[in-house]
A and B are shown apart, each in its own frame.
Chain A
Amino acid sequence: GENVEQHPSTLSVQEGDSAVIKCTYSDSASNYFPWYKQELGKRPQLIIDIRSNVGEKKDQRIAVTLNKTAKHFSLHITETQPEDSAVYFCAASKGNTPLVFGKGTRLSVIA
């Protein structure tokens, strides 16, 4: 089955700097790659997603890139703010299969 690896497990950045979180997946047939943000004590919330027919997608300060050949995708957060501090999860799936999540990245934005 699908396996998703996520790096780094923790990341600290200064406010205003950029943050990049990377994920690799094992199943070349996977075609949907969402990112979820989980604030402390709260539920995971979808922040952005990308499908395999697209190489990049942006939404304000966040962007996701996908490299199907290398089977990896990344989350980019620019101009980080303290409220960006959270655990971020990447995930992958194909067709009707359930999402397989990475183990998460704890992002700390230092003011």
Chain B
Amino acid sequence: DSGVTQTPKHLITATGQRVTLRCSPRSGDLSVYWYQQSLDQGLQFLIQYYNGEERAKGNILERFSAQQFPDLHSELNLSSLELGDSALYFCASSAGQGARSPLHFGNGTRLTVT
């Protein structure tokens, strides 16, 4: 167990809808990262937060947004969902930022858009 908790495990919704994915980092970790993994694709970096502040943005669509709360949990909001948004969404946490400490991944949320 990595100590990173993601909910829900599975999510099935229709096109055009909005969903929220939740992540609780390992105890003591200040950084939270969101990655998207599509079928047979690698891990695409979406966004990073450190101690409540946005630190880095990757290939995150404008329809997607995220935030990190004072208790350090994070939420990823996906709106106006399209079929192509179906993927496995991973949250990862680390004690520091970037290369200074290893990433620990949660078990992911599998999103299916129908």
**Residues of chain A whose beta carbon lies under 8 Å from any beta carbon of chain B:** 6, 31-32, 34, 36, 42-46, 49, 51, 89, 93-104
Contact = CB atoms under 8 A, between A and B. Distances in A.
Contact of B43 (A46, A49, A89): A89
Given A43-B108, A44-B43, A89-B43, A96 B100 contact: yes
Contacts of A94: 98-99
Contacts of B108: 43
Given A96-B100, A97-B56, A44 B45 contact: no
Interface size range of chain B in the complex: 20 to 34
Contacts of B106: 43
> What 8 pairs between A and B have smallest CB-CB spacing?
A32-B99, A96-B98, A103-B42, A96-B97, A43-B105, A101-B43, A93-B99, A101-B42
A42 B45 contact: no
B102 A103 contact: no
A97 B33 CA distance: 11
Contacts of A102: 42
B21 to A, nearest CB: 14
Contacts of A45: 2, 105
Given A96-B100, A97-B56, 11 more contacts: A36-B105, A43-B2, A43-B107, A44-B105, A51-B99, A97-B99, A99-B99, A100-B45, A101-B44, A102-B42, A103-B42
Contact of B98 (A42, A97, A101): A97
A46 B99 contact: no
Nearest to B48: A98
Contact of A99 (B2, B103, B104, B107): B103
A90 B45 CA distance: 14
B42 A99 contact: no
17 contacts: A6-B42, A32-B98, A34-B102, A43-B2, A44-B43, A44-B90, A49-B102, A89-B43, A94-B99, A96-B55, A96-B100, A98-B48, A98-B56, A99-B103, A101-B42, A102-B42, A104-B42
